[in-house]
Amino acid sequence: MNGFKHSHSLGQNFLTDKNLLSAIVADAGVTASDTVVEVGAGQGALTRPLAETGARVIAFEIDTRLEEYLRPLEEKYPNLTVIFGDFMKSAPELISGRFKAVANLPYYITTPVLFRFLDDERCDSVTVMVQKEVAERIVASPGGKDYGVLSVSCNLAGKPKITRIVGRQMFTPPPNVDSAVVHIDVENPARSEKVSAVVKSAFAMRRKTLYNCLSSAGYDKAKITSALATLGLDPSVRGERLTPEQFVKLAEMITN
């Protein structure tokens, strides 16, 4: 990579395969009429094919050492804006109008960035490269060991799907795990804070029953008992057995 020293703390593992990068852009369904937000632009490997679609691209990169790679792209593509800074600390007004999120996310910030996208009412879709085991949690169904807060949150926002598996050998430097591309068409943006709080409480102690988890979190015991009965759920049920829709109904019953 032209002598560039990758930062382990920033999770810098760059993709270079042009066919794969083009496939990710295709997975995202980007067209010239779109606005695209990219987080973690790196050396611009994914930024370039995004800009080549003619879409308005807003690329965030926290590492200013990468200016020498990204500024020339910004000069080449008038539809590209590169913002050097922390996306999680950036003001929402830096993005105007509706957008599609496309990113090869550093593993250490996957969940907060994903939640920020899903909470933004302007976000039409999310297409992200994430650690394979994280992707499996995102698309997990109720009852499985991978099903948890991330599964419920993403499934409430839309219908997540894994579009492709990407081996670790495709990255420079290679990470210790394989990756996957996940696509979500966002149908229900802006998660309810009440629902989110109930879901987090339900999975806070996976070995305990849902009743015990929620009562330990301070929810009214009588309301919990009544809600479980109304939903036709056994009093000993655990959180991983509830569908995302059941969590919404449960939250409505015990928080009002």
Instruction: Write out pLDDT tens, residues 26-59.
Output: 999 999 999 999 999 999 999 999 999 999 999 9
Residue type present at position 255 = T
pLDDT of 12 over the 60 cut: no
pLDDT of 1 over the 60 cut: no
Q: What is the mean pLDDT of residues 205-232?
A: 97
For residue 246, the domain's CATH number is: 1.10.8.100
Query: 97 and 170 in one domain?
Result: yes
Query: 142 and 204 in one domain?
Result: no
Per-residue pLDDT, 28: 97
Per-residue pLDDT, 92: 83
Q: What angle do CA 87, 90, 92 make, to 5 degrees?
A: 110
pLDDT of 2 over the 60 cut: no
Query: 237 and 131 in one domain?
Result: no
What are the DSSP calls for 192-213, one per residue?
-HHHHHHHHHHTTTTTS-HHHH
Q: What is the mean pLDDT of residues 184-192?
A: 85
- Residue 2 falls within a domain, yes or no? no
User: Cα separation of 145 and 196, whole Å?
Assistant: 20
Taking each helix axis from N to C end, the angle separating 149-157 and 193-202, rounded to the nearest 10 degrees, works out to 150
Q: What is the mean pLDDT of residues 203-217?
A: 96
Q: Are 185 and 158 in contact (CB under 8 A)?
A: yes
Count of structural domains, the chain = 2
Q: Are 132 and 180 in contact (CB under 8 A)?
A: yes
When the pLDDT of each residue in the chain is averaged and rounded to a whole number, the result is: 91
Least confident of 100-109, 211-220, 226-235: 100-109
- Report how far Cα 100 is from the mean position of its chain's Cα atoms: 12
Q: Which of 159, 185, 211 is the last residue of a domain?
A: 185
Boundaries of domain holding 148? 14-185
Query: 223 and 115 in one domain?
Result: no
Query: 138 and 121 in one domain?
Result: yes
For residue 57, the domain's CATH number is: 3.40.50.150
pLDDT of 176 over the 90 cut: no
Query: 214 and 167 in one domain?
Result: no
Per-residue pLDDT, 190: 67
Query: 212 and 140 in one domain?
Result: no
Query: 179 and 64 in one domain?
Result: yes
Per-residue pLDDT, 66: 93
Query: 143 and 44 in one domain?
Result: yes
pLDDT of 5 over the 90 cut: no
Q: What is the mean pLDDT of residues 205-213?
A: 95
- Which percentage of the chain shows pLDDT scores above 70? 94
pLDDT of 147 over the 80 cut: yes
Query: 251 and 147 in one domain?
Result: no
Q: What is the mean pLDDT of residues 108-123?
A: 92
Query: 231 and 177 in one domain?
Result: no
Per-residue pLDDT, 10: 43
Per-residue pLDDT, 170: 83
User: Cα separation of 207 and 213, whole Å?
Assistant: 9
- Residue 6 falls within a domain, yes or no? no
Q: Are 140 and 147 in contact (CB under 8 A)?
A: yes
Per-residue pLDDT, 13: 67
Q: What is the mean pLDDT of residues 136-158?
A: 95
- Residue 8 falls within a domain, yes or no? no
Query: 80 and 22 in one domain?
Result: yes
Per-residue pLDDT, 211: 98
Q: Which of 161, 185, 209 is the last residue of a domain?
A: 185
Q: Which of 185, 209, 240 is the last residue of a domain?
A: 185
Per-residue pLDDT, 41: 93
Residues 6+ apart with CB under 8 A from 96: 35
Model pTM?
0.87
Q: What is the mean pLDDT of residues 143-150?
A: 94
Give the model's confidence band at 82: pLDDT under 50 very low, under 70 low, under 90 confident, else very high.
very high
End-to-end C-alpha distance for the chain, whole angstroms = 56
